[in-house]
Structure 1
Amino acid sequence: MRRYSLIAIFLHWAIAALLAFQIAVGSALEDLGARGFALFQLHKSIGITILALTVARVVVRYTRPRPAPVEGGWQGALAKGVHGGLYLFMLGAPLTGWALVSTAKVKVPTLVFGIIPLPHLPLPAGANDPALAAHALLAWVGIALFALHVAGALRHHILLRDGLLWRMMPARSPLLLVALPGLMAAGFLLGRLILPAPAPKAAAAQEKILTVEEQSPTDTTAVADNAVNAAPPAEVENSAAEPVGPPPAWTVQPGGTIGFSVGNGGDTIRGSFSRWTAKIVMDPDHPETADLRVEIDLASASVGDAYQDGMLAGDEFFGVAAHPKAVFTVKGAEKTGANSYRASGTLTLKGASEPQAIRFTLSGVGAKRKVTGSASIARAAFGVGNGESSTGLDPKVALNFRFNAKAE
């Protein structure tokens, strides 16, 4: 029996294995939220690979001789229909997926396997819903066609015993007869194995979420303050002495950091802001003189991954286009220990202004001090993480900062 060309055979089994992987992964992506971000990027890369291989398969189909059909009648018509439908699926599913990410509200850059940049298609935002519906429909149609194609091949090989399956083998070998179809099973199994474990649903975590949701906006300072400091502050004696002269201004030295972290299921996402400025006026011996203003360039946020950095700038998170900066201001602070302080101010982020507390310590003497501190921010109050990809994120974001300052 005449076989397909070697290139056609290679493309057939490569596409089949990749499709099995996509089916295993794609069926679970919707429920993973933020935990499935890396897997979603892989899903896109595999999809574009399938598109490229399918285009090559179409070219080979019409440029290389192929075996004649072995069956006529309604069975032959059904086989042709399934083959045609599979080609439409293998082209249509990646194209609608490409259209989907190109018109999404959150613009995420696409790098195929983290290397090759893939431009967004020039489509209007209104195409997003139709692309989503078409992509979902094609997925189910493709699964049905995939199953029919496998069933047809097994019918010919087991029931009709006409050797049809050997046409898609490079040689008549029982080993290849097991190994090549086994690629599909391996692809599906691999897709299931790399899915993240279900997010833990501990009672304590649920109580934490309820506590944040039940607080009114005016309670934000108390919530953040309690989250950072579980233990009560140490009692200190208030100095009755009045400050001598105006409080000094401090210049932040190069090398400081502002970092953030948030729980993501069983993992933690960590990042930092690379561009920020701080204007500080404060007498450490008289913290009530504190006058602070910190401005953070939100476009400088990074978690070390180009895909996720692109999402951070979008409307689902920081909305950088409309709100490029976050501003934290403080008028007055209080001493809570020998070198520790607490300050309550206002955080303005993404168009919302809410009370916010920070804790910090000062080390060193004289005109040079080292500053370290932290805060806990309820992200929902600022609309940060307001989409489906954020469902796995903890309700609070931990902020930490560290820098050296010199008195002017």
Structure 2
Amino acid sequence: MPQRYSLVAITLHWAIAALLAFQLAVGWALEGLGARGFNLYQLHKSVGITILTLTLARIAVRYWKPRPAKLEGGWQGALASGVHVGLYIFMLGAPLSGWALVSTAKVKVPTLIFGVLPLPHLPLPASSHAFAENGHGLLALIGVALFLLHVAGALRHHLLMRDGLIWRMVPGRSTTLLLALPALLLVGFAAGRAILPTPQAAPAPAPVIEEPDNGAEATNVTEAQVAAANAAAPADNAAANATETAAAAPAPAGPPPAWTVQPGGRIGFSVGNDGETISGSFSKWTAQIVMDPDHPASADIKVTIDIASASVGDAYKDGMLPGDEFFGAAAHPTATFVAKGAESTGPSRYRASGTLTVKGVSKPQTIRFTLSGKDATRRVSGSATVTRSAFGVGNGDSSKGLTPQVAVTFDFAAKRKD
């Protein structure tokens, strides 16, 4: 009876085989998924590094417990040995080329193994990216060919030669395991296909919102953004009434009061992403506000945002936000909005037109906000729609699925200074 591989070697053999089947099912679909495949791409990287680790362990076991002697010589034995060597090259080369591909990409996406363990980028020049990308794809094709040859060889020995070679990789010569272990490959492949996003239907034409205050052309926005804009926008008759009220209001008795923003406020943002919505916020920002609510023309507003504090609650995406493709935080650590004066658009509703500066680019920007409360403490809530391309935010391949507009919302309490 042929000598059997160790139980450790058998376990590693079938585990790696199942994971490779999963990787092949997922990997070939990633390119066509665009932004919808982001999370799947991170899983693909994690499984790839797992295969690399298990393969290194398998090589160590091979020397710790030498494999059984060959049963066949000649060209058939040489071919079998060549296929085995090729499979090891594939199991090492595919994860390593994928690691190199990620390390040399223009957009530095952080790698966290299963969202927990950080994996550093390899110190490779950016010029090697094309080589890594082409090599990764070629190795996948070679791996499939080697896998088919390996399976064909195993079936030849078991069904034609009947030499019992296949029992080397089946504990206890169990017929049940002989069927169950190869089935793991089908399970791995099926699992990879099952978690792929369903094909997305063509989106219906998006509603249009106009911003006549800026003189900007109408732009398509998501339904959520339209709802937010409509909620913030005043009705025409309310605006007319507010204008009449403002005209009748007495002149201010003195300089407008300054306000101190209280802890607990929030500046958030959301953007469509291939039919989904990515939402986040800035955890660090300051605001200097001078304004008499009864005389909004007195407003003097400046908001400064720490760009590096942006977060969407996902470690992978948060690692991308400070990069040049998005906020370029290294060269432009802050974004600012400055407005001199505001106008009433209804009871406790206002509009301020000012200048927004992001990534060193300054553009006209309008915000709408409401005030609630009275006397020395007021609640401020409002929104704005920002065209990201005007500031070079989301200017790379990984941003193709993002909608042109970003909905910005803010909500905070302010206390009048004495």
Q: Structure 2 length as normaliser, TM-score? A: 0.90
Q: Could you tell me which amino acid in structure 2 is paired with residue 363 of structure 1?
A: S
Structure 2 vs 1, CA of residues 387 and 159 (structure 1 numbering), >3 Å: closer, same or farther?
farther
For residue 43 of structure 1, report the CA deviation from its aligned partner: 1.1
Partner of 1:268: 277
CA distance in 1, matches of 2:386, 2:75: 65
Task: Give 2:198's aligned residue.
Answer: 197
Secondary structure of the equivalent of 1:318? coil
CA distance in 2 between partners of 1:67 and 1:185 (Å): 27
Q: Distance in 2 between matches of 1:322 and 1:313?
A: 10
Matches within 5 A, 1:337-376: 337-376=346-385
Report the AA paired with residue 412 of structure 2.
Answer: F
What is the CA–CA distance in structure 2 between the aligned matches of 1:400 and 1:152, rounded to whole Å? 63
Whether the 8 Å contact between 1:283 and 1:290 is mirrored in structure 2 is yes
> Which letter does structure 1 place at the counterpart of 2:10?
I
1:200–1:265 contact (8 Å) kept in structure 2: no
RMSD of aligned alpha carbons: 2.4
Which residue does the alignment assign to 2:150?
149
By how many angstroms is 1:253 displaced? Answer: 0.9
Q: Shift of residue 221 of structure 1?
A: 8.2
Query: Any conservation in 2 of the 1:24–1:191 contact (CA below 8 Å)?
Result: yes
Find the counterpart in structure 2 of residue 407 from structure 1: 416
The aligned runs of 1:7-406 (5 Å cut-off) are 7-205=8-206, 219-220=215-216, 223=219, 227=226, 228-230=228-230, 232-233=235-236, 234-235=238-239, 236=241, 237=244, 238-240=246-248, 241-406=250-415
Amino acid at match of 1:229: A
Gap change, CA 1:66 and 1:28, over 3 Å in 2:
same
Structure 1 range deviating more: 29-38 or 224-233: 224-233
CA distance in 1, matches of 2:391, 2:362: 8
**Residue pair 1:379, 1:385 contacting (<8 A) in 2 also:** yes
The 3-state SS of whatever aligns with 2:346 is coil
Structure 2's unaligned 5+ residue stretches are none
1:219: Cα distance to partner? 4.6
Higher mean displacement: 132-141 or 252-261: 132-141
Question: Does the residue aligned with 1:99 lie in a helix, a strand or coil?
Answer: helix
When structure 1 is superposed on structure 2, of 144-153 and 359-368 the one drifting more is 144-153
Q: In 2, Cα distance between the equivalents of 1:198 and 1:320? A: 35
Question: Equivalents in 2 of 1:398, 1:29: separation in Å?
Answer: 28
Distance of aligned partners of 1:67 and 1:224 in 2 relative to their CA distance in 1, 3 Å threshold: closer
Residues 1:170 and 1:184: Cα distance change in structure 2 (over 3 Å)? same
Paired with 2:145 and 2:396, the residues of 1 have a C-alpha distance of 31
Change (3 A) 1:391 1:95: same
- In the TM superposition, residue 311 of structure 1 has moved relative to its aligned partner by 0.7
SS at match of 1:377: strand
Please state how far the C-alpha of 1:302 moved relative to its aligned partner.
0.9
User: What TM-score, normalized to structure 1?
Assistant: 0.92
Q: CA deviation at 1:349?
A: 1.0
Shift of 1:3: 1.4
Output the CA distance in 2 between the equivalents of 1:65 and 1:119.
Answer: 34
Q: Identify the structure with bigger relative contact order (alpha carbons < 8 Å, sequence gap 6+).
A: 1
Which 10-residue stretch deviates more, 44-53 or 195-204? 195-204
- 1:3 corresponds in structure 2 to 4
Superposition deviation, residue 62 in structure 1: 2.4
**Cα distance in structure 2, aligned partners of 1:132 and 1:220:** 41
CA distance in 1, matches of 2:163, 2:27: 35
Identity level (%):
67
Report how far residue 303 of structure 1 moved. Answer: 1.2
Distance in 1 (CA, whole Å) between partners of 2:79 and 2:390 is 57
Q: Does the 8 A contact of 2:297 with 2:341 survive in 1?
A: yes
Please say which of residues 22-31 and 237-246 is displaced more in the overlay.
237-246
Contact kept in structure 2, 1:86 and 1:146, CA below 8 Å = yes
Q: CA deviation at 1:107?
A: 2.3
Deviation at 1:260, TM superposition (A): 1.1
Q: Is the 8 A contact 2:229 2:383 kept in 1?
A: no
Distance 1:378 1:147, change over 3 A: farther
SS of equivalent to 2:413: strand
Q: Is the 8 A contact 1:220 1:355 kept in 2?
A: no
Give distance in 1, aligned partners of 2:308 and 2:12.
42
